[in-house]
A and B are shown apart, each in its own frame.
Chain A
């Protein structure tokens, strides 16, 4: 089996200093969503684990936390939705642009713990991006896992990410179901909310690990549907998103009840965070 390389933890004192990374490739995934490949200017690659994030700095504009959506040939890959000033600037970065990167930060998906189990991956919208590295790992180590199921919800057919890769994952033996909120007659797939894919999905709830990523309300409803199927709450993992500033557990901006998402997360078991997720204003 493949083993994980330990995540490259930034040395104390360097954690707050961005390293220059050059944009070497930029691809439009969907309206307002771009995938960027970043190469370290100093040549020293990052080795993030699936589920970790980095802080990416658009010089002169600001810094934002971005989940890592892959690593290839030493290049760091981020899939970014342009939703604010910083992410819009990052999405607009053409090859040659230099961005600042801190990290990798946070914890990762439970890929070792899931060995020997069925794995149910539930993604919503751009939430597929932080799961992409985990999906690639699962397929690269197919023999270590039972059934592999990806349930993916999107607002519309145009918003579906990684279309070619979804097909490849299917061919490699993963059950991939995509469902969209609304569609015209050109869409041959399913229409509905992603929770509707959970009851008929093929997995053994007594021997499964679920990994869920997407908007928080989607994750909450998916977690409930997974629990209804019989998966234990401690086997359901969610990746939380909060406003992160320092990324190193010092500033407190990403506090959720007793936890700091940048330091203790972003990946949590549902039983650990469910009480806080149901407290309004947290």
Chain B
């Protein structure tokens, strides 16, 4: 069975992270699993975790009165779920739900934030990596806003 540090090292988010930093981060992680349909986190509750998905898919959802739960995005193996823990007020903005059996590394972000505050270089490194994830998600969201599949030549 792989250690948390080994699992973390395999994730694209943490690619090429120096071993000492890998150990520091991994010290705040633990293996978890969620059954199909189980909730990982709920909107407007404290965001004191983030997840590195090892297996399965997670949907980010929000409840729209009159329309029900709307899926905002789906994330899969290798993806990181959650950045609300990075910024005050540290609360989730959406629901996270397992679409199937999910195995993940769950990080205690109170533990992690303490380490980042005492090690600004690690903090900058991790923030840069999360910023890249944010950039990619923002790009995808902007492209979806264009509603491109309705954009065909008329004839």
Contacts and interface: CB of A to CB of B under 8 A. Distances in A.
Interface string A56-73: 000000101100000000
A154 B149 CA distance: 7
B154 A83 contact: yes
Contacts of B57: 190
B148 interface: yes
Given A184-B69, A184-B71, A192-B74, A155 B147 contact: yes
Contacts of A190: 57, 74, 76
Given A184-B68, A241-B153, A217 B146 contact: yes
Interface string A175-192: 000010111110111111
B71 A182 contact: yes
B67 A126 contact: no
A193 B149 contact: no
A48 interface: no
B143 interface: yes
B140 interface: yes
A84 B140 CA distance: 29
Contact of A191 (B74, B77, B148): B74
A185 B69 contact: yes
Contacts of B150: 125, 155
Interface residues of A, number: 40
A218 interface: yes
A214 B68 contact: no
A199 B144 CA distance: 18
Contacts, number: 93
Contacts of A126: 149, 152
A189 B73 CA distance: 10
A221 B151 contact: no
Contacts of B59: 191
A153 B76 contact: no
A252 B86 CA distance: 55
Interface in B127-153: 136, 139-141, 143-144, 146-153
A193 B144 contact: yes
A125 B152 CA distance: 10
A123 to B, nearest CB: 10
Contact of A192 (B70, B140, B152): B140
Interface string A203-224: 0000000000011011001000
Nearest to A217: B148
A260 interface: no
Contacts of A159: 149
B78 interface: yes
A248 interface: no
B155 interface: yes
A87 B152 CA distance: 11
A149 to B, nearest CB: 15
A218 to B, nearest CB: 5
A188 B99 contact: yes
B72 interface: yes
Nearest to A63: B155
A193 B143 contact: yes
A187 to B, nearest CB: 7
A43 interface: no
Nearest to A80: B155
